A and B are shown apart, each in its own frame.
Chain A
């Protein structure tokens, strides 16, 4: 009986052609089928890129004038943004409380806080670059470019440069703003050198992530390393406070250090360029897909989609241990357990929650920041950041309400159930944050009470932000300084932050007064109750929408009456 030529062992004969071996492709027979008799040389990667770009440019009708106009617009807007940010930082510096030298010896110094922020920026750069690739080829590029036998390095070169340049710009600007705006005047040279140094370090971090990607290190591992750096930063600040470590001023980066850094970054960039062809196609496709999803979310002003893109890109690929869901006793507890499971399976959000709780602690032990303005900003901003971490379950349910639809619960009841996990999480956040504020104010008990009473506001804001409708892109666009935007976009984006800001007015008032009055606690309780009602509401209409509807209805009624 002849051997089955399709069986796996058919060709597995010692010495037979095709036996396993580390053969290269140079001696392999050419393609068996060709659509035409002849071959021309395979074009260079640059010509493939340029052909695609040239056709796209021609079809879009954009001439050199439009391109220059866009560049001019972007440069002017960036300059204005930087000027505003610099002015705000400078203004903040002038409003910082004057602290006597003796007081400065306790707690941590402002330069130490800025150094900690620099560590956070480094962690963010590493984490984000790993989540976004940093090198990728998404969608059409993956389908139509990666299959061609051209040198992939040329195809991927622009993509490999994009993130290091962007990270360098952002990192440099942030550090320069903090140094020039917030810390004492050191002169323009100091600020520029520090900004340039930060920019080079940030670019180097992205290049490092690229190297790890080219060596097959999972993106999740690199992203988690970045998250760990972010988590370590506030802990570092607390340790510095306890140990009495103080940074008197940010270092003046010498020119030769900058030159050495620049040479190192250039070398790392060149080294990465030589390895671009070693990045596996599946990694390029995954990274490109995440980057496209994130860019789409940014353009469409959908922060929820952005969060999903960044979370999923670093999600554990393995199947999870199946939980028996023994805590589920009914539909409400099913929703709560589902939300809790989503939160616990997302380390990024847990880190975000813990770090946000430590921010007020760091602020109150920094004498130069521990004023009413600094504490209010710390509570509001870190509370908002922490609140966003707790709404992951609701955000995912808003996109795909799979569990919700299976349960015998009304939409209103589902919303109420979804308040529980953010509520408990933000209660823990409030205990940590308000205990620190209370210690700073010299009366922990009343402040803890205020924190507990105000916690529902965060939960309501979290839910309201998670369930906000998307901007209506089908309506007419409105010209704004940020470009053309759909009408009502501000109202949509404000859903969530509005409840947080309005609901925390009693807390802000208490910080301004420096004490917690019983009447303020009572008012906060009332405000929290209203916030819960708003957060659990299933209506997506704004007050303006409702007023317009009421006006329309009244006019229609009047017309009917006239007839």
Chain B
């Protein structure tokens, strides 16, 4: 396995229109590890994720993915980085399975039929494979997005509060899936409010805050997620 860090952020300052939304963050994500971003609502976790994905120009500092400047226009970047953000947009005429086929084939996955079937089963969507997105509940749509993030090759998986709208069983399954992702050599960067997911998946955490952002151990991060702490 390459020792090259998957993400390196140095004094990364993120915000909108030149105005930072949180203190600068600095961290390194080694390969095969998971790093969680924790913080209060509106603290800037999702904004940091968007900067890492190249969807937002940093206000200051720098961020690299696999030793290269972040640029989502590069095919190489899109080949290696998979993300599941809070997008809730679907092609209205494509079924659940067709969305996954589109993603898998778009990434050149061999045997896409089998891969899609497995993921449909894994995320409890087999019965809804032929359903249009409008017929799904919000939780089912969330599962579709997560399946789409996993149906394609990747070195880095970026997840924005993946626990949202999932029931307890699916949260547990997701946690196990992310652990397996690390074992397979993949890296995970996720923003989360879920202590169980954090405890099960993350190797370290970054507290994103207005005054000072800092690295925490997983145990400290779990503690920070307790009500009234943040």
Contacts and interface: CB of A to CB of B under 8 A. Distances in A.
A40 B113 CA distance: 13
Given A11-B5, A12-B10, A280-B73, A52 B94 contact: yes
Contacts of A22: 69
Contacts of B152: 35
B30 A48 contact: no
Interface in B1-25: 1-5, 8-11, 16-19
Contact of A34 (B68, B153, B215): B153
Interface stretch (B40-48, B104-112, B222-230): B104-112
B67 A39 contact: no
Interface in B155-199: 155, 157, 181, 184-187
Contacts of B106: 42-43, 48, 145, 148-150
Given A6-B30, A148-B78, A150-B106, A143 B87 contact: yes
A190 B115 CA distance: 63
Name the residue in B32, B94, B181, B185 with the highest tally of chain A Cβ atoms < 10 Å from its Cβ. Answer: B94
Contact of B73 (A18, A29, A55, A281): A281
A33 B155 contact: yes
A59 interface: yes
Interface in A262-298: 277-282, 285
Is the contact region of chain A dominated by helix, strand, or loop, or is it mixed?
loop
B218 to A, nearest CB: 11
A147 B83 contact: yes
Contacts of A285: 55
Interface residues of A, number: 67
A35 B150 contact: yes
A4 B26 CA distance: 12
Interface stretch (A125-133, A167-175, A201-209, A313-321): A313-321
A31 B155 contact: yes
A139 interface: yes
Contact of A43 (B89, B98, B105): B105
Contact of B115 (A31, A36, A55, A144): A36
Contacts of A19: 67
Size category of the B interface is 35 or more
A55 B119 CA distance: 21
A10 B9 CA distance: 11
A32 to B, nearest CB: 4
Contact of A17 (B3, B9, B154): B3
B27 A32 contact: no
A310 to B, nearest CB: 19
A20 B67 contact: yes
A56 interface: yes
A7 B215 contact: yes
Nearest to A318: B17
B68 A24 contact: yes
A8 B111 contact: no
B19 A318 contact: yes
A243 interface: no
B66 interface: yes
Interface string B112-125: 10110011000000
B31 interface: yes
Contacts of A10: 5, 28, 30
Interface of A: 4-12, 17-26, 28-43, 48, 51-52, 55-56, 59-60, 138-140, 142-152, 277-282, 285, 316-319
18 contacts: A6-B29, A6-B204, A8-B11, A11-B28, A17-B67, A18-B8, A18-B66, A30-B80, A32-B185, A33-B153, A40-B109, A139-B89, A140-B92, A144-B89, A144-B90, A149-B108, A282-B54, A317-B18
Interface of B: 1-5, 8-11, 16-19, 26-33, 35, 54-57, 62, 64, 66-69, 72-80, 82-83, 87, 89-94, 98-99, 102-112, 114-115, 118-119, 132, 148, 150-155, 157, 181, 184-187, 203-204, 215
Given A35-B151, A39-B109, A318-B17, 17 more contacts: A5-B30, A20-B64, A29-B2, A30-B79, A42-B108, A43-B105, A52-B94, A56-B92, A59-B93, A138-B89, A144-B102, A147-B82, A148-B103, A282-B54, A282-B57, A317-B16, A317-B17
